Amino acid sequence: MSDRENVPALLRVLNGEALERPPIWIMRQAGRYLPEYRELRTRAKSFLEFCYSPALATEAVMQPLRRFPLDAAILFSDILVVPDALGRKVWFVEGEGPRLEPLIGEETWRFGEPEKAAQKLAPVYEAVERIKAAIPKDIALIGFAGAPWTVATYMLQGRGGDKDDARLEFYRRPEDVDALLETLVEATAQHLAAQVKAGADCLQIFESWAEGLPPQMFQRVVITPTRKLISRVRELGVDVPIIGFPRGAGAQIGAYAHQTGITALGVDTQTPAIEALEAAPQGMPLQGNLDPLTLVIGGKALEDAAQDVLIAFKETPHIFNLGHGITPQATPENVEKLVRIVKGEA
């Protein structure tokens, strides 16, 4: 085998190569649309306990890989382990989503030392080691974290949903929000560096709440903290590629792609491929952006939408993915069909 064949296709694209057939992975590929995941999930009392069990996390990662010939594995964990490690209470309400003790309403914001937060996440790094050992060499292992602003919105509001309260708090207490973002930059940099040390081949930063921010605020809470995060990760000796996924950033994806230091840009469902191609630096690998709902519907809607994505990103280094996470209503049969379409077997 030549060296080239040993390099996972995903990493070749992240190094700037445009492949005849793009590699594919699926955001939230381990999850509730898989019956075997729902069964596995019952073995832990809480979702965080599940995340902190290296054996359960490894099994969750392997489940989609056994069913589909995907090109990447993603660590099974959550973006909210970082606030948990910073000493903020985090729990998950069945059918509703995450809850935290909200910072909004607290007079003084106190956190654990960000330099030490990663020490509490040892089970996550043990999971990375186990997953790395369990997956074939041609499958890339993706580590991840939430971007500072996205994680801050959960910490501020204590929940997801409408982000107006987080934005209001920025207007009320901008210096405190800056300090919160600084804390998250350091804790998240340590967390990402530890994942790479444990075996992650590349990283993704989820900025799931890049939506609805005026340009100055976008600069201050999204671009600046993400640029600091990436330069801190590099300072810690990490040289692997980093995918940035600023969901909902709209017309600000160009500023994000040029100014943060990302290697590749995750494109959300609503963004036309041509806009992403024109906005990103020349030759930057792009990832995306199939509508997750086509995996609920299947049939011709799925075939057409998948072909549209393949054609739209044909001329550029491209990683096939969804434009947002897969939904619990998607079917494994439709995922299998999608992978076959992308591999040119359907």
Q: Which residues are catalytic?
A: 28, 32, 41, 78, 154
Residue 208 makes contact with ligand CP3 by CB under 6 A: yes
Site for ligand CP3 in 179-198 (CB under 6 A): none
Cα–Cα distance for residue pair 167/146, rounded to 1 Å = 18
Residues in Cβ contact with 102 at an 8 Å cutoff, skipping those fewer than 6 apart = 155, 156, 157, 158, 159
Which one of residues 10, 29, 224, 240 is an interface residue with ligand CP3 (CB under 6 A)? 29
Query: Which CB atom, from 147 or from 341, has the smaller least distance to ligand CP3?
Result: 147
Distances (CA, A) of 127 to 70, 76, 151: 19, 8, 22
Residue 79 makes contact with ligand CP3 by CB under 6 A: yes
Closest residue by beta carbon to ligand CP3: 208
Which one of residues 47, 149, 170, 313 is an interface residue with ligand CP3 (CB under 6 A)? 47
Site for ligand CP3 in 212-241 (CB under 6 A): none
Residue 78 makes contact with ligand CP3 by CB under 6 A: yes
Which candidate, 264, 263, 268, places its Cα nearest to that of 249?
268
Pattern of binders to ligand CP3 over 80-109, x per CB under 6 A? x-----------x----xx-----------
Q: Strand order in 286-290's β-sheet?
A: 72-74, 140-146, 202-207, 242-246, 264-266, 286-290, 318-322
Name the minimum Å distance from CB 301 to ligand CP3.
22
Site for ligand CP3 in 302-341 (CB under 6 A): 325
Quote the strand ranges of the chain, DSSP E: 72-74, 90-93, 97-100, 140-146, 202-207, 242-246, 264-266, 286-290, 318-322
Query: Which CB atom, from 117 or from 205, has the smaller least distance to ligand CP3?
Result: 205
The piece of 74-82, 102-110, 125-133, 334-342 that touches ligand CP3 (CB under 6 A) is 74-82
Helix, strand or coil for residue 146?
strand
Residue 332's H or E segment, with its range, is helix 332-342
How many residues form the binding site for ligand CP3 (CB under 6 A)? 22
The piece of 71-79, 102-110, 133-141, 311-319 that touches ligand CP3 (CB under 6 A) is 71-79
Burial (Cβ within 10 Å: 0-12, 13-18, ≥19) of residue 343:
middle
Which residues sit at the interface with ligand CP3, rule CB under 6 A?
A: 27-32, 41, 47, 74, 76-80, 92, 97-98, 144, 160, 206, 208, 325
